[in-house]
Amino acid sequence: MPESLNRVQQNRGLTPDLLHSTRLEVLHARPVCNVGPGPRMTAARLERFRVMPTSFFRAVIGSAIATSIALIGTPWATGAQAIGICPPFLLRATETTVSRLGIDGIATGPTKASIRVVAAPGASSLVVQYGRGNNYTSCSTVARPAAARGQAGVDVLLRRLVPHSVNHFRIVANTAAGTAFGEDHVFRTLACGHVPQGVELGSISIGGMTEDEVRSVLRGSVAGPLRLSYAGAFWTVSRTEVGARLDSSRFVTAALTAAPGAVLPPVEVSVDAAQLHAYVTSLDRRWSREGHAAGVHLVGKRAVITPLEGAVTVDKRKMAALIAARIRSGARGAIQLEVVKKSARPAPATAQKAVVVRLGSQTLTAYLNGKPVLRTPVTTGRPALPTPIGSYYIHFRASPYTFVSPWPPGSPYWYPPAPVTWAMYFYDNDFLHDDPAEPADDYGAGSEYGAYASHGCVHVPHPAMAFLYNWLPVGAPVIVSQS
């Protein structure tokens, strides 16, 4: 901190003959500060700072001090004063004091400064005298602290400052006891192209930033991606892709011309309705689907089960409103896709019921609307006469039923007549049927290589076959798959 920022020495010994009537005029023209980029701010300038007093009441310049502070005339005017013209006030030597008029802080810009003055009790009005030197060539408008028993704070705005310059100021308060003078203080204005200190854009602090830095902050308002979610899936999309728009020039101009410490309205992001509609339509194409009936299909050697599903449609109106609200608020978190689900209509009975025989595990599963209702071990054809893989259906059923060997006696495949309780034909003399001779614990994996392996039919345990015969209609699909 330079030596010029040392504390002020108190002023003593002013005499009436040094006091005369004078009017302080603006000695410099109103500065021109283009709204544009300026020098980069240091970290120290980006924060409010405490004003440090400097010594200017020295004996060697006593007459200059007296001239700069001696103002005789009528009491202070009650209205706002013109910038640069100090109000006249009555000053008698016996009433001259050096007051403890405090400075709580100061925020500067290129051409303005805002000073938080803590006035002593009893101060009815005050002004801030300021200038490039301690001759104080300008004055603020008259400020009136709020009535309070203790010290009262008031914000005073200084105008017509030169960008990137050193300025002096002091507080002059009018009290019942006379006129009180504060100490001399020094501050430096920011360079052109910087946002005044203490300025906030909504809840975002941008004081001291350059134009480019403010634009970067504004771009952040529309740069973050939106995150959406549906059915366990997550994806992101940029805010600009769904229509986010921001007129950054308007906010930059407002920030650069704001008074120090000003709180500007939050950033307002607009939404392009046509672009938002196009994105929501793409969501509808991606996630909406028609309903379909349950089914069982053979894909290669594998059975594929399709459950009964209703139609799903993206609620485009709700999604457009949710996305637009999220863009404007800037909030984070995933947006859940809004859909309308329609109940599935049951298909005909033949499409709802099906059985799948899996050769690899030697099992049979019965499905209703794509959901399993029965699982049971079975025994299928031996290696020489395997049960064929394919998609079939029930042609007819009979109870009781007797199988007669198509092979003549002497053939290794011949068998005597074999009566069963239930039989359901599905393909080329192959049936789903019970086998009274096969033990219950012989069914299941590996049984196709055992003594009770079939000639191509599917042996089903007695209790399970009783259920299937009464449950599975003629025409119902029978899928034989490897897995």
Domain membership of residue 53 (yes or no) is: yes
Residues 148 and 253 occupy one common structural domain: no
CATH number where 11 lies: 2.60.40.10
Given the structure tokens 């309903």, which residue do they identify?
291
Number of structural domains found in the chain? 3
Written as six digits, the tokens of 202 are: 């909504």
Residues 310 and 380 occupy one common structural domain: no
Domain membership of residue 435 (yes or no) is: yes
Domain membership of residue 194 (yes or no) is: no
Q: 340, 366, 398: which is the final residue of a domain? A: 340
Is 207:199 a contact under the CB 8 Å cutoff? yes
Measured CA to CA in angstroms, residue 201 lies from 38, 170, 456 at distances of: 20, 30, 81
How far is residue 11's CA from residue 96's CA, in Å, rounded to a whole number? Answer: 9
Residues 386 and 313 occupy one common structural domain: no
255-286 burial: b if 16+ Cβ within 10 Å, else e: bbbbbbbbebebbebebeeeebeebbeebeee
How far is residue 422's CA from residue 473's CA, in Å, rounded to a whole number? Answer: 13
Q: Reduced to 3 states, what is the DSSP secondary structure of residue 5?
A: helix
Domain extent for 80: 3-188
Per-residue pLDDT of the chain (483 residues; tens, 9 = 90+): 333 322 222 232 222 222 222 222 222 333 446 444 333 333 333 333 333 333 333 332 333 333 333 333 333 333 333 344 555 543 332 344 444 567 888 888 898 999 888 876 677 888 899 998 878 888 888 888 775 555 567 888 998 899 999 999 988 888 777 788 888 899 999 999 999 998 998 888 999 999 999 999 888 888 889 999 998 999 999 999 999 998 888 999 999 988 888 999 988 889 999 999 999 999 999 999 887 666 776 677 777 777 667 788 999 999 999 999 998 888 888 999 999 988 766 555 445 789 999 999 999 999 988 889 999 999 999 999 999 999 999 999 999 999 999 999 999 999 999 999 999 999 988 999 999 999 999 999 999 999 999 999 999 999 999 999 999 999 999 999 998
To which H or E segment does residue 149 belong? none
Residues 8 and 124 occupy one common structural domain: yes
- In sequence order, what are the beta bridge partners of 355? 366, 478
Residues 177 and 277 occupy one common structural domain: no
Domain membership of residue 193 (yes or no) is: no
Residues 9 and 141 occupy one common structural domain: yes
Residues 184 and 145 occupy one common structural domain: yes
Residues 232 and 176 occupy one common structural domain: no
The contacts of residue 134 (CB under 8 Å, 6+ apart) are 54, 56, 68, 168, 184
Domain membership of residue 389 (yes or no) is: yes
CATH number where 386 lies: 2.40.440.10
Residues 15 and 105 occupy one common structural domain: yes
Residues 316 and 404 occupy one common structural domain: no
Residues 226 and 257 occupy one common structural domain: yes
pTM of the predicted protein model: 0.48
